[in-house]
Chain A
Amino acid sequence: MTAQTLLTTTPGQVPVRRRRRFGASGDRPSWGATITLVVCSLAVFVPLYATLTMAFKTTAQSVDGRVFSLPSPLSVDGFVQAWNLTNFPRGFAISVFVTAVTVVGTVMLAAFAAYAIARNWDRRLFRWSFFYLLAAMFLPFPVLALSQVKLTGMVGLANPVGVAILHVMFQLSFSVLLFTAFIRGLPEELEESARLDGATTWMVFRHVVFPMMAPMSATVAIFAFLASWNDFMMPSLITANSTLQTLPVLQNIFQTQFSSNYNVAFASYLMAMAPAIIVYLFTQRWVMAGVTQGAIK
């Protein structure tokens, strides 16, 4: 959870921080800001350190109550057990599939919808469909859970495909909101000039608008990625066949009342967290590149 909240807030902050550093204060380091940032990063690194060391401990050492001690002897037993218990490769593949469909689906559908809405704002149908989509933000999944379970079961979507479709649906309203606001800020003159050169609506969208939306697409993609990769409730309820379950649900077997296998649990969490962190590092660069590229000279 910590990882998620911190990751989702950072993309917006990064460019701001940069600008400030190169701006007013010049070479002098700002101690107040540095200390604040150190404390903030400790909030990430301390749990991460605990996760990392715990994952390499033996079972006996993991329950000794000393969280910050270094693992001795070093043991990969936790990883082996977690790998076998969750059938990691399969769970990982399913998680990747669901997340990939969600990210691509969300970015595409939301961009289409937002472009149509933003450029037809004067028409009632488009305006109202925007409000209709926004209204979905007020419907959390738990409210709809049982009806969704029933419906997906009836149409044969009680599987990862159904989960991915539902993830796209639930991401749609927020993503359309982000995209619409962004498109409003894009100059319409670029599109007009493309049209003068004979471009169709699709070509305008494909070659002019969509590339300009890249920074916002990255943001939407990150939100969709995190929401889908970390989701527990929807796959746990929707997927009928337990062999097609995603990682967060499989890892639920480590949450038990009566026994504590911290080393196995943390090894498994580490393996599940790794892709999220890698993707984040990768897309964070992309966001920053997108911000400078998308700017109109």
Chain B
Amino acid sequence: MTPLLSHELSRRSFLRGTVAAGAGLALASCARPSGSAPTEIVFFQSKPEVIGYFDDLIDQFHQTQDRVRVRHDFTSNLAGSFVRETPPDIGCLNYNFEISRYVERGALSDLSDLPEAKRIRPDLQPLIDVTATYPDRTSVLPYSLMAAAVLYNRTIFAQHGVQVPTTWDEFLAVCDTLRGAGVAPIYSTFKDPWTIAQGPFDYSVGGTVDTTKFFNQLKRQGTEVGPGSPVSFEKQFLSPVEQMQQVVTYSQENAASRGYGDGNLAFAKGEAAMYLQGPWAIGEIAKTSPDLDVGAFPLPMTDDPADRKVRVNIDLALWIPEGSRKKEAAREFLQFLMRPDVIDAYNAHALGFGVTTDATPVTNPTLVELKEYYDRADFYVGASQLVPQSIPLQNYTQSLAAGDPPEPVLRTLDADWRRLAYRS
């Protein structure tokens, strides 16, 4: 018995030692150099295409002052950092449902007192509010906006003597002409469901339904969504979805087995005249054909040319968490990022549209065609961006593209929305 006892004792002291070591580690990590050292803030930004660009911006910022040091974080888990109560000091992220959770729970601080907040175009506010709001707070400042429409090959259009369509009938006529000439009118990539949701589906719905109004009303209705309610998917979405099914019939033969990467390659090689993708595809197309002459036009869904609208989404938005202990330093960096020259240069680089009233106009040869719609505020947030991820909308649009009858799919969508509203 004796040796066993001594073993247990030593084990206990070993454990004690481990705990002491752990506590020591914890204390060591708490200790921070005090004094006049610069404040280090964590900047969370994870859009992969522009990580290098923001690194350069941080260097520029460091050169202008020495009070604040910025550490660029593009790998941390956002939810984890909030749970740990050590959120990043400033974030610059896609404004979507992930971030809406933080907005709605009041985890992001109010930025309305910053002069930069006054520079944001007022007509963007409904787009921000329809995703998420917190009472009496400006939780996020938009930074970059993407406008998506139908990309088209100007050379192919000119070869076949067709003009950019301004009405639904003109659009069908263009497709028929191209098909008659042996050209695939539209390149579709049904293998990647998101390309259907953000393309044919969003363009068709957004071209006929006021998505902001629709989703605000839908939220007000709560669980009352169905055939008897003022708005529901099966009522308002039926006709645009039927039109969408007509649009996708003009796709190339093998659309069902093609993904996003294939689409970029094929469109770059001139295998189709139109491609329903946003500006993010422009850079990808340029990887294969840097000199391709690409234009863009909003998909006309009605017989009135004035009804044409572009699909927009807030690609990047700035926010400062309530839980940050260095809000002042974070605000200083935010003000640097919002400087007209900095924000304009970024948007020109990333093919975004400016979100401030003083922004320089877009110059990209493809996107200039969409400028007039954006300036007139003829835009909408894509419906697929306003449906929470827990509803598999993308997959539903895939089955619609494959030819499923729309009524049962939209009824399912209503039922999903009811269930979600009931749970929350």
Partner-B contacts on A (CB < 8 A):
59-60, 63-65, 85, 145-146, 149-150, 152-153, 155-159, 161, 200-201, 236-240, 242-243, 245, 249-250, 252-254, 256-260
Contacts and interface: CB of A to CB of B under 8 A. Distances in A.
A249 B3 contact: no
Contacts of A236: 75-77, 80
Given A63-B288, A200-B3, A260-B261, A158 B84 contact: yes
Contacts of B114: none
Interface string B281-322: 101100110000000000000000000000000000000000
Nearest to A146: B83
A64 B265 contact: yes
Interface string B238-273: 000000000000000000000011101100000000
Given A150-B84, A242-B76, A156 B30 contact: yes
B353 to A, nearest CB: 17
Contacts of B264: 63, 260
A253 B84 contact: no
B80 A253 contact: no
B387 to A, nearest CB: 17
Contact of A60 (B23, B52, B287): B287
Given A149-B83, A153-B85, A242-B75, 5 more contacts: A63-B264, A65-B265, A149-B80, A156-B25, A242-B74
Given A65-B261, A156-B26, A240-B84, A257 B194 contact: yes
Interface in B21-51: 22-23, 25-30, 42, 46, 48-49, 51
Nearest to B46: A253
B81 interface: yes
B121 interface: no
Interface string B33-73: 00000000010001011011000000000000000000101
Contacts, number: 98
B81 A201 contact: no
A153 B3 contact: no
A48 B71 CA distance: 36
A64 B301 CA distance: 34
Contact of B83 (A65, A85, A150, A249): A150
Nearest to B264: A63
Contacts of B74: 242, 253
Main secondary structure on chain A at its contact with chain B?
Answer: helix
A243 B80 contact: no
B265 A85 contact: no
A253 B7 CA distance: 49
B262 A65 contact: yes
B233 to A, nearest CB: 25
The 10 closest A-B pairs by CB, nearest first: A156-B26, A153-B84, A258-B280, A242-B73, A237-B80, A156-B29, A253-B48, A256-B48, A236-B77, A149-B83
Contacts of B76: 236, 239-240, 242, 245
Nearest to A58: B287
Contacts of A200: 3
A68 to B, nearest CB: 16
A237 B77 CA distance: 6
Interface in B2-24: 3, 7, 22-23
9 contacts: A65-B265, A85-B51, A149-B84, A155-B22, A157-B22, A200-B3, A237-B79, A242-B42, A260-B260
B30 A240 contact: no
A240 B86 contact: yes
A92 B23 CA distance: 28
Contacts of A243: 71
Most central of A146, A161, A245, A253 by chain B CB within 10 Å: A253
A49 B86 CA distance: 43
Nearest to B278: A258
